[in-house]
Chain A
Amino acid sequence: MNIIILGSGSVGVHLATELSCLGNNVTIVDTNKEKLAQIQETCDVQCVYGNGADLTVLLKAGLEDCKLLLATTNNDEANMLSCLLAKNTGVATTIARLRQDFYFKGHKTLYRNKMGIDMIVCPEILAALEVIGYTKELKSSVVETLADGNIEVKTIRVSGKFKYKDYVLTEIPFPENTLVSGVVRNEKLTIPSGNYKIQEGDILYIIGKTEVIEHMGGVFDPKKEGWFFSQHKTAFILGGGHIGALVAKLLSMHEIQVKLIEEDPERCKQVAAELPDITVFNEDGTNDKFLHEEGIENADYFISTCKEVETSLMASLLAKDMGAKEIISVIDNDRYNRVLQRLGINNIVNPRRNTSQCILDFVRNGNVLTHTLGRFDDAHLIEMYINDSFPFQGKTLQQIHLPENTLVCIIQRGEEIFVPKGSSHIQSGDIIVAFTIGKNIDPLRKLFIGE
């Protein structure tokens, strides 16, 4: 496969190496001549000098018989433009890395259809989500966003005060077109049937349209329950950069008390203005007296997201020594991997590796995207784009024999998103989300994509 990668930043180079090792022909385009020369010495890739948004440069890099274009430059708009150009000259798949978070607010379908971007990745968001993955026992959370942000999975913890405790699932008035796709009881995940009776302590995974899921509110909103005298977990976040702010936002949504420490006073003000529910401190994160005063001894999480890896590391060690229970470090660097284990820093998030992994998954699986559900490694949400080769055209869902422990949760057809019944059809052009426990991914792919 011929692949063009725009931008020779860390993500670009990492991807180039990986993809080239997998036997692809990779061309890197960048405006930094020295960097290109350096890359050519270390990897088996072709380098082209020039601006990625310039069509002549792209043609020179072999756009015509290219199958995949990865735009990973620092400029979001240039990335989008390159993808648009590539799509219109016949490149099958385009992937763009975007940083600005307003590109991720539910417009992804628009980008997909009109801007010709098949996949949008943001290293910061991926890193933040992984950090969240390490923090356990979240009260309620958006576990996963699917179908380019149109579909969401959220958890509801059934507490003692939950109004519908001891109800059967079909009796609970969930909003229309949402589905309880999984229930966790005693650390065990099952797919419930309609007459499943829920109990205190259960965790429900609810899937549905993003707007509906976000605004469920009312009895389904755990924020309203027992806020008074309730025992909050506390988290310290070091660094108020993109990742830090995102993590803070997600954690505070989960009722965790967040203390964010940032050195730059201006950035402090910005973050404090953006996030009303957290406390922002303008202080050096390695100031032990300050950390002690703010009660690091009782902190449940210490998350360091500093730009400088060394500060991040030192702060993590300090916090661990002072008694923080769980340390999570975002380290954008492979250099220290061999000592990290020995130092006792186990939860490491590497944004660059995540991004590459995410892109490689997409390249490998194409129209089938799999998401692992929370901390259950064998539970997957599978997002599939149905095309003309779908073998069961015209048949109802009942007539398709799904593997065991598998549920087709939701179908997106154009703008419409609905929970299918047994009598529903699947058409080409649909995006379907299936939930499965166990090793059913490959059979499902064969069933729906029909290779």
Chain B
Amino acid sequence: MNLQLIIHTLGAYLVFYGCCFLPSILWGIYAQEWAMINVFGWITLSTISVGTLCKKYTKKYQGSNQFTKREGLFLVSVIWIASGIIGALPFYVSGYIPTFLSSLFESVSGFTTTGASVLSDIEALPQSLLFWRSLTHWLGGLGIVVLFILVLPHLGVGGRALFHSEVPGPHTEVLKPKIRETAFILLKIYIGLTVIETFALCCCGMTIFDSICHTFGTLATGGYSTKNTSVAAFDSISIEIVLIVFMFLAGVNFSLYHYFLSGQRNIFWKDTEFRAYFLIIISATTLIMVDLSLHFSHDILKNLREVLFQVVSVQTTTGYGTADYDKWPGFSKLILFALMFIGGCAGSTSGSFKVIRWVIVFKYIFNQIEHVFRPQAIRPIRLGKVVIEDQVVNNIIGLFCLWIIIFGVTSIIISSMGFDMMTSMSATAATLNSIGPGFVEVGPTMNFSVIPDLGKLLLVICMLFGRLEIYTFVILFHPAFWKK
């Protein structure tokens, strides 16, 4: 592995990363929070200078940006870890979160668009720090590496390796021959949606600050709010509708928007994954509605409002809350728990296992059952008209097993720290699938500060696993990866 080249690119990344603090500083000036500007200023300066130093001392590698597959994967993992650590500094240095591990948890939870918090009183934080907290969502949503590829034109072929490592999905569609142009199209769609949502939220009566922060939280399917009681604090039906719509949109494959805008108006219904995604939301909402109306509350309209918001929020892995679903009956809770493992569409900003993989897993199972009594039949797995290669299917089955194993092992370790079953399982599921809140002790009205430090570290790793879809990150733990 060419470490020098990796350090060089990492240096370039740090310079780019330092610049990401600027919006928070600007907001600090606007909100006149001088102490925070001081903190952000020093962090920015040191990040940029470390980056410049790294770049300077490895300058001779500037021309050769040919990453091997291994280097690309490694670099993506390193970039995500570095982002988490540096992103934790503002929380730690300013003293609003006392321990570094808690700050790291908050920061990684932001970048991986999880939205699980350790803060009990969010409203006590200064605006610039809250802004940074939400900005981490926005940066991590589309993929921080995707943004990085855009600002670094000379990455060339290396960019392609990085792109595919960060956006691993079962069939990453490359919209344009050049990876930079593809990234640019995705960014344009992302920014477009951001502007529209911010405007819509403003119209619904949010302050500009709240609308920007909530937009970042929705489009990245993150879930950091600026209020202690999340979206429930606004208690406005129009705001909730806007959020439902945009959470839903953020869970759709972004390349579909590109095709839609370039003239294929019926692309959404033609897409198997989109149809499945839509149907899952509708059926989950119906099931929970029936359960709640029978066993919980008879106010159907109020139920519909809360259930739809909660289902979309959990399915798209956002994690905003308008209701304390921890009080709902067991059936409803279990459905929400199951939704956590489904997630949005591939190529969206949502986390979790993704609808398309579930579709393929089910088709695979179906084929295997037929195979038992009819071994001669040959049935390729297809999505729409496209045949999925055996290689890809095997990859997905492997990922599925890894997902279950990691979920199981982490849950067991967390429960050994003295938590009940539902808490430990939901805490793991909520972080691994980048949802945010879980049930019981980490429920929608609680937070993750109850988890001890070791548990937090474990959950931080889970979040990275979930965001990078395990393979990219898990290779660091494979002995063969480090052999020359």
Contacts and interface: CB of A to CB of B under 8 A. Distances in A.
Interface of A: 265, 268-269, 272-273, 276, 279-283, 290, 293
A338 to B, nearest CB: 36
Contacts of B387: 273
B376 A276 contact: no
B385 interface: yes
Interface string B361-388: 0000000000000101111101001010
Interface of B: 374, 376-380, 382, 385, 387
16 contacts: A265-B378, A268-B378, A269-B378, A269-B380, A272-B380, A273-B387, A276-B385, A279-B377, A279-B379, A280-B378, A280-B379, A281-B377, A281-B378, A282-B378, A283-B376, A293-B374
B376 A272 contact: no
Given A272-B380, A280-B377, A281-B377, 8 more contacts: A265-B378, A272-B378, A272-B379, A273-B387, A276-B385, A281-B376, A282-B378, A283-B376
A279 B371 CA distance: 13
Contacts of B382: 273, 276
Instruction: Choose among B376, B380, B382, B385 the residue with the greatest number of A CB atoms under 10 Å from its CB.
Output: B376
A233 B385 CA distance: 24
A150 to B, nearest CB: 25
Contacts of A282: 376, 378
Contacts of A280: 377-379
A276 B379 CA distance: 9
Contacts of A268: 378
Contacts of B380: 269, 272-273
B373 to A, nearest CB: 9
A265 to B, nearest CB: 8
Contacts of A293: 374
A276 B388 CA distance: 12
Nearest to B373: A293
Contact of A290 (B376, B378, B379, B385): B376
Nearest to B370: A279
A280 B387 CA distance: 15
Main secondary structure of the interface of B (DSSP, over half): loop
Contacts of A265: 378
Contacts of B376: 281-283, 290
Contacts, number: 25
A273 B389 CA distance: 10
Nearest to A259: B377
B86 to A, nearest CB: 47
Nearest to A290: B376
Contacts of B374: 293
Nearest to B385: A276
A7 B164 CA distance: 50
A273 B383 CA distance: 11
A385 to B, nearest CB: 37
Contacts of A273: 380, 382, 387
Instruction: Choose among B382, B385, B387 the residue with the greatest number of A CB atoms under 10 Å from its CB.
Output: B387
Contacts of B377: 279-281
Nearest to B390: A269
B142 to A, nearest CB: 33
B357 to A, nearest CB: 20
A268 B378 CA distance: 7
Contacts of B378: 265, 268-269, 272, 280-282
A282 B380 CA distance: 13
Nearest to A262: B378
A279 B380 CA distance: 10
Contacts of A281: 376-378
Contacts of A283: 376
A15 to B, nearest CB: 38
A272 B385 CA distance: 11
A241 to B, nearest CB: 16
Contacts of A276: 382, 385
Contacts of A290: 376
Instruction: Choose among B376, B377, B378, B380 the residue with the greatest number of A CB atoms under 10 Å from its CB.
Output: B378
Nearest to A283: B376
A269 B387 CA distance: 10
A421 B382 CA distance: 47
A175 B355 CA distance: 39
Nearest to B382: A276
A187 B385 CA distance: 38
Contacts of A279: 377, 379
A265 B375 CA distance: 13
Nearest to A268: B378
A-B residue pairs, 8 tightest by C-beta:
A281-B376, A283-B376, A273-B387, A268-B378, A280-B378, A272-B378, A272-B380, A273-B380
A283 to B, nearest CB: 4
B370 to A, nearest CB: 10
A228 B377 CA distance: 23
B457 to A, nearest CB: 46
B381 to A, nearest CB: 10
Contacts of B385: 276
Contacts of A272: 378-380
A279 B387 CA distance: 15
Nearest to B387: A273
Contacts of B379: 272, 279-280
B59 to A, nearest CB: 50
B198 to A, nearest CB: 42
B374 to A, nearest CB: 8
A268 B375 CA distance: 13
Nearest to A260: B378
Nearest to A281: B376
B364 to A, nearest CB: 15
A270 to B, nearest CB: 10
A282 B382 CA distance: 19
A418 to B, nearest CB: 28
A412 B233 CA distance: 69
A327 to B, nearest CB: 22
A290 B382 CA distance: 26
B363 to A, nearest CB: 12
A279 B378 CA distance: 7
A281 B375 CA distance: 8
B266 to A, nearest CB: 13
A290 B376 CA distance: 9
Nearest to B379: A272
B94 to A, nearest CB: 58
A272 B376 CA distance: 12
A250 B374 CA distance: 25
B359 to A, nearest CB: 15
A331 B411 CA distance: 65
A272 B382 CA distance: 10
B118 to A, nearest CB: 50
A279 B379 CA distance: 7
A272 B374 CA distance: 15
B29 to A, nearest CB: 60
A276 B374 CA distance: 18
A231 to B, nearest CB: 22
A294 to B, nearest CB: 8
B227 to A, nearest CB: 50
Instruction: Choose among B377, B379, B382 the residue with the greatest number of A CB atoms under 10 Å from its CB.
Output: B377
A71 B378 CA distance: 38
A128 B274 CA distance: 38
